[in-house]
Structure 1
Amino acid sequence: MSRNLRIVLIHPPHESEERAHALHAGLAEAGYEVIASLPADIHLPEQIAQLQPDMIIVDAESDARDVLEHIVIATRDERRPIVMFTEDEDPSSMEAAMAAGVCSYVVAGLQPERIKPVLKVAMMRFQREQKLLHELEDTKHKLAERKVIDRAKGLLMTKHGMTEDQAYQKLRTMAMNKNLKLAEIAQRILDVEDLLG
């Protein structure tokens, strides 16, 4: 994982040189390549879009709310695993970081030997979260399709005096004849009903 992981390091504009160097050294020692080190400013979304990193690491010694705002905008359209190294133990800061999409919030964890396991766990957590989000979207989509089909069945039952099974069979036959999905034919029936009133 570490050899080909493309990392962008983000830091507040006024970060201490010593801290930045420690993180760079820890990443290099763990076998990671930092493709860019960027300040958290208004150009961040554009730069992230251009670089297409696999992971974002935020290095913020203290309050990182400004940094988080820029990251939320930068990763809004394309989510990425985000790891934050900080000295801020304030629970509200942790909550804000998690709400911004941070996978791993590490307080006082810049020791080189800790970096690799932290990044591995963050990547695994991110992948698991993405899988759950995809499953949730898929479930929502199927539920929406089910509602459309049920409405179309109800319409056929009311208008044509069909039983539920007959209405379903009618939808299936129409879908097969037109080479459409069941939900698509159901939506067409509802659209026609809306048009004709």
Structure 2
Amino acid sequence: MSNALSIMVVEADRERAMQIVDSLREAGDFDIQVISEPTSLARQIQTKQPDVVLIDIANPSRDSLEELALASGPLDRPVAMFVDRSDEGLSAAAIEAGVSAYVVDGMQPARVKPILDAAIARFRMFQRMRLELAETKKALEERKVIDRAKGMIMKARGVDEDQAYAILRKAAMDQNRRVADVAAALVSTVGLLS
């Protein structure tokens, strides 16, 4: 079983595809697959699950660029896109679509490996940021539910906020559950009763 990074190269022109493959082979041990027809890109990526997607496109339009970017699963893996030229706003559209590296002036064999490394590093950085954002949102939502539950306890029992939290915490410990889970159950139950 190989631990080589799997790279899917999307290039319609066979000669250009071979240049990319050759430069990747010179740069390291990669499992390389070439896709010449981008229309089936999403299905092939779903089937083969590459670690990285490299797309070489001579003259992208906004629609083709976004379609290629979205089909390559930019939230699931790094995507590097090489274009020969780029109209105004296309690089921003590519980055917004999740492309990790957008390189204008086409593919040059000597630049493939450093750009691949940059795309992977950038993808990992954004992946960490997305995870941190999701965790922060979850913590904020849990905090809101805990505050609602404390308010309900304060009203029902006539206690202050610290005492309400102590009641929630004790219930969580007694049930071997998280405070946020006990608070959510309380809020849900009170919602059903009102």
TM over 0.5: yes
Tell me, yes or no, if structure 1 residue 160 matches structure 2 residue 157.
yes
The partner residue of 1:106 within 99, 103, 121 is 103
Tell me, yes or no, if structure 1 residue 176 matches structure 2 residue 160.
no
Helix, strand or coil for the counterpart of 2:80? strand
TM-score by length of 1: 0.88
1:109-140 per-residue CA deviation (whole Å, 9 max, x = no partner) reads 52222111111111111111101110111111
Tell me, yes or no, if structure 1 residue 135 matches structure 2 residue 132.
yes
| In 2: Cα distance, 1:22 partner to 1:73 partner | 23
| In 2: Cα distance, 1:161 partner to 1:192 partner | 19
**Once the 2 structures are TM-superposed, how far is the Cα of residue 70 of structure 1 from its aligned partner?**
4.1
Task: Spell out the pairing of 1:72-111 with structure 2 (5 A cutoff).
Answer: 72-75=70-73, 79-111=76-108
| In 2: Cα distance, 1:196 partner to 1:136 partner | 34
1:40-90 per-residue CA deviation (whole Å, 9 max, x = no partner) reads 11x3222111111010001101115325314414417x5110001111232
Residue aligning to 2:35: 37
In percent, how many aligned pairs have the same letter?
A: 38
| In 1: Cα distance, 2:141 partner to 2:72 partner | 30
The amino acid that maps onto 1:35 is Q
The amino acid that maps onto 2:145 is V
**Once the 2 structures are TM-superposed, how far is the Cα of residue 18 of structure 1 from its aligned partner?**
3.4
Question: Is 2:14–2:36's contact at 8 Å kept on the other side of the alignment?
Answer: no
The amino acid that maps onto 2:161 is E
1:152-196 per-residue CA deviation (whole Å, 9 max, x = no partner) reads 001111121110011000000111111110011001111111111
| In 2: Cα distance, 1:17 partner to 1:195 partner | 64
The amino acid that maps onto 1:93 is L
| In 2: Cα distance, 1:160 partner to 1:56 partner | 59
| In 2: Cα distance, 1:74 partner to 1:89 partner | 19
| In 2: Cα distance, 1:147 partner to 1:110 partner | 50
| In 2: Cα distance, 1:50 partner to 1:67 partner | 21
The partner residue of 2:182 within 182, 185, 190 is 185
In the alignment, structure 2 segments of 5+ residues that lack a partner are none
Question: Is 2:60–2:86's contact at 8 Å kept on the other side of the alignment?
Answer: no
Aligned length: 190
The partner residue of 1:69 within 67, 70, 74 is 67
Aligned Cα root-mean-square deviation (Å): 1.8
The amino acid that maps onto 2:129 is L
| In 2: Cα distance, 1:73 partner to 1:116 partner | 23
| In 2: Cα distance, 1:103 partner to 1:74 partner | 11
Question: Is 2:146–2:183's contact at 8 Å kept on the other side of the alignment?
Answer: yes
| In 1: Cα distance, 2:132 partner to 2:76 partner | 16
Question: Is 1:27–1:33's contact at 8 Å kept on the other side of the alignment?
Answer: no
The partner residue of 2:48 within 51, 55, 59 is 51
The amino acid that maps onto 2:6 is R
